[in-house]
Amino acid sequence: MMQTQFDPTDFRRALGKFPTGVTIVTTKNARGEKIGVTASSFNSVSLDPPLVLWSLKKEARSIDSFGEGKHFAVHVLGDHQQDLSNHFARQGADKFANLPLVEGVAEMPLLTEFSVRFQCVCQHQYDGGDHVILVGRVLQFDTTECNQPLIFHSGNYAKVAHV
Ligand SMILES: Cc1cc2nc3c(=O)[nH]c(=O)nc-3n(C[C@H](O)[C@H](O)[C@H](O)COP(=O)(O)O)c2cc1C
């Protein structure tokens, strides 16, 4: 049931005015399957302890896999990785087919191309309405030369223009 006075489409559009980066979050589930989704809800939380968060909609196919609550890896994308972002936002059979991968903490599938990559153990999960909020403790991270992040703003991809 709708609990608000305003139009949900207007609300979505208003939220979209807040620009974010774009990430792909991966994990391996209890059946050994590689799981990955595109997520722009990533954000930093705490330096000490090192915590980050993101949120996943409860309708996502991957909700049970991430809900198992062990580990996840966040890959912050560069501005040349729009196709990869769209790829992991689709419900494909095997999103990882033909992608170069390495194995991370707890056998997580890690992408090899990224701007920054955070490997996390899931510390908390909170109910967030139609999403679940996942808070991860960063175990290790890797950075690359890529310093041009992919941006998502008002439903479109964008690039950073430093001023
Ligand atoms: C740029 C972009 C950002 C997205 N951010 C999120 C997000 O933060 N949380 C979320 O649940 N879905 C987000 N999505 C949608 C998911 O990637 C999409 O629903 C995906 O199909 C989920 O995969 P699954 O159903 O295989 O779990 C985003 C999609 C795009 C294109």
User: Which residues line ligand 1 at a C-beta cut-off of 6 Å?
Assistant: 22, 37-41, 54-57, 60-62, 85, 89-91, 152
pLDDT in tens, 68-112: 879 999 999 999 999 999 999 998 778 999 999 999 999 999 999
> Is residue 6 in some structural domain?
no
Q: Which residues pair with 55 in a beta bridge?
A: 133
Residue 3 pLDDT: 60
Q: Which of 18, 26, 37, 85 to mutate to test the pocket of ligand 1 (most atoms within 8 A of CB)?
A: 37
- 47 falls within a domain: yes
Q: Is residue 132 part of a domain?
A: yes
pLDDT reported for residue 40: 98
In a domain, 84, yes or no: yes
Dump pLDDT digits (tens) for 117-153.
Answer: 999 999 999 999 999 999 999 999 999 999 999 999 9
Name which of 37-46, 62-71, 115-124 the model is least confident about. Answer: 62-71
Higher pLDDT, 57 or 1: 57
How many domains does one find in the chain?
Answer: 1
In Å, how far are 7, 59, 136, 151 from 103, measured between CA atoms? Answer: 44, 28, 18, 27
The CATH number for 118's domain is 2.30.110.10
Choose one of 15, 27, 40 to mutate for the ligand 1 pocket test, by most ligand atoms within 8 angstroms of C-beta: 40
**d(CA 89, ligand 1 centre) in Å:** 5
Q: Is residue 11 part of a domain?
A: no
Asked if residue 109 is part of any domain, the answer here is no
Domain that holds residue 32: 21-103+114-159
Q: Pick the closest to residue 89 from 155, 18, 1 (CA basis).
A: 155
Q: How far is the CA of 134 from the centre of ligand 1 (A)?
A: 14
